[in-house]
């Protein structure tokens, strides 16, 4: 943490404060974008690729995609607070999916929608979005002042329309991550306490869906058979890679087959190596290290093997990608659980004070406040 006599990092001084929920919003954006590409291709394929227009006009779906991205930007520029961001991420992801689906027309001289590398280009673009987000958010830990700024962001909706018990609890939990010597902490806590209570919330199905998905991953990750199933799935993927590579190589209708074959083979070999090492660590009862090695195996599959599978088989590689994402979610949930189990619970000092004033706004007690 930066002390009061030290200068703030340049990005904070410039006003570039990171959102602690960036990962959730980017995941919503990517998932909705990928789903839009797949659903669009499915609908067009079933309907025979119809064209909207006539008499020399053709309304490509890149146009509604641009309008949806414009709507997403409008929402973000027009409303303050955290409530609008999940919806903007969903709308923007759908719009970007409609846009990037027509990338074949943008990179070919004959506007070829069926350009073979399109699937690989789309996949790589979304992978780069995820990697860029992880780089920005993980290259340095969140500063306590960034955490405090995000708590103030919670207070934005509370000042205007009140806070529900759930959102007040979220803000209080985040505030506890801020040290008592951070300038503005006590004032921020007072601002939250001054927000009136109001249980009316804007419907947030995206947040509810993510919470349900997280609970599902947590339950599955604690199942006794989860490690064996993860190893079995990774093993099946490694064994099926030669079959996929052979199918790409002997399909004479495809161009540039050698590079996808080598990529699938190399990525699968590296992924299998991490899987075997993880299995050995699991047998040695080093569960944390085993989970980390399994995560590396899945990441290699997502970032290397699947890229070349999309290049060689186009959208037929969707199944493998979906399976990798499910495995990554399960392993992430297990990694978080092991980290929580290894972290001792914080000791709360016993505070002697008068009982709270019944007329004061409800707000959880904070041990970090000075007595």
- Following DSSP, what letter does each residue of 168-235 receive, concatenated? HHHHHHHHTTS-TTSTTHHHHHHHHHHSPB-------HHHHHHHHHHHHHHHHHTSTTHHHHHHHHHH
CA–CA gap between residue 82 and residue 158 (Å, rounded): 11
Residue written as token pair 């607070």: 81
For the ranges 39-43, 262-266, 277-281, the lowest mean pLDDT is seen at: 262-266
Mean pLDDT of 107-132: 85
Average pLDDT, the chain: 79
User: Six-digit token pair at 261?
Assistant: 């074959």
Residue with more model confidence, 210 or 235: 235
Check residue 22 and give its pLDDT. 85
How far is the CA of 305 from the CAs of 13, 65, 269, 277, in angstroms?
Answer: 41, 29, 9, 19
Residue written as token pair 């990962």: 23
Chain segment 26-42, per-residue pLDDT in tens: 888 988 888 888 888 88
Q: Shortest CA distance to 298 belongs to which of 217, 221, 345, 233?
A: 233
Burial of 202 (0-12, 13-18, 19+ CB in 10 A): exposed
Sign of CA pseudo-dihedral 362, 363, 367, 369? negative
> Distance from CA of residue 282 to its chain's centroid?
27
Answer whether residue 347 shows pLDDT above 80.
Answer: no
Check residue 258 and give its pLDDT. 66
Q: Shortest CA distance to 279 belongs to which of 296, 301, 262, 304?
A: 296
Residue with more model confidence, 313 or 329: 329
Check residue 364 and give its pLDDT. 54
**In terms of pTM, does the model score above 0.85?**
no
Answer whether residue 165 shows pLDDT above 80.
Answer: yes
For the ranges 3-7, 232-236, 290-294, the lowest mean pLDDT is seen at: 3-7
Give 173's pLDDT tier (boundaries 50, 70, 90): confident
Alpha helix positions (H), the chain: 10-13, 22-47, 62-78, 85-100, 103-107, 118-138, 144-161, 165-175, 185-194, 205-221, 226-249, 258-283, 287-300, 306-313, 318-342
User: Six-digit token pair at 311?
Assistant: 């290049």
Residue with more model confidence, 164 or 250: 164
For the ranges 36-45, 132-141, 295-304, the lowest mean pLDDT is seen at: 132-141
């Amino acid at each position: 943490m930066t002390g009061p006599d030290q200068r703030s990092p340049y990005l904070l001084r410039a006003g570039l404060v990171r959102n602690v929920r960036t990962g959730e919003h980017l995941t919503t954006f990517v998932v909705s974008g990928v789903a839009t590409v797949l659903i669009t291709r499915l609908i067009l394929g079933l309907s025979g690729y119809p064209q909207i227009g006539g008499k020399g006009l053709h309304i490509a779906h890149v146009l509604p995609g641009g309008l949806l991205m414009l709507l997403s930007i409008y929402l973000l520029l027009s409303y303050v607070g955290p409530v609008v961001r999940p919806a903007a991420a969903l709308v923007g992801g759908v719009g970007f999916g409609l846009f990037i689906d027509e990338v074949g027309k943008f990179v070919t001289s004959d506007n070829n929608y069926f350009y073979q590398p399109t699937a690989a280009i789309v996949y790589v673009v979304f992978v780069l979005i995820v990697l860029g987000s992880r780089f920005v958010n993980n290259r340095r830990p969140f500063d306590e002042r960034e955490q405090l700024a995000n708590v103030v962001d919670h207070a934005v909706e509370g000042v205007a329309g009140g806070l529900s018990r759930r959102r007040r609890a979220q803000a209080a939990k985040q505030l506890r991550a801020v040290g008592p010597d951070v300038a503005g902490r006590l004032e921020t806590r007072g601002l939250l306490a001054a927000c009136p209570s109001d249980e009316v919330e804007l419907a947030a199905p995206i947040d509810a869906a993510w919470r349900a998905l997280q609970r599902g991953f947590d339950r599955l990750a604690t199942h006794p058979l989860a490690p064996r199933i993860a190893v079995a799935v990774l093993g099946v993927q490694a064994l099926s890679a030669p079959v996929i590579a052979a199918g790409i190589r002997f399909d004479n209708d495809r161009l540039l087959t050698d590079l996808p074959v080598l990529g699938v083979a190399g990525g699968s070999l590296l992924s299998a190596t991490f899987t075997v090492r993880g299995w050995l660590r699991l047998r040695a009862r080093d569960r944390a290290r085993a989970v980390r090695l399994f995560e590396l195996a899945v990441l290699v599959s997502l970032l290397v093997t699947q890229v070349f599978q999309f290049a060689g088989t186009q959208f037929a590689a969707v199944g493998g990608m979906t399976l990798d994402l499910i495995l990554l979610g399960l392993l992430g949930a297990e990694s978080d659980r092991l980290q929580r189990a290894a972290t001792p619970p914080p000791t709360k000092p016993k505070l002697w004070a008068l009982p709270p004033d019944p007329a004061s706004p409800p707000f959880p007690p904070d041990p970090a406040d000075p007595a």
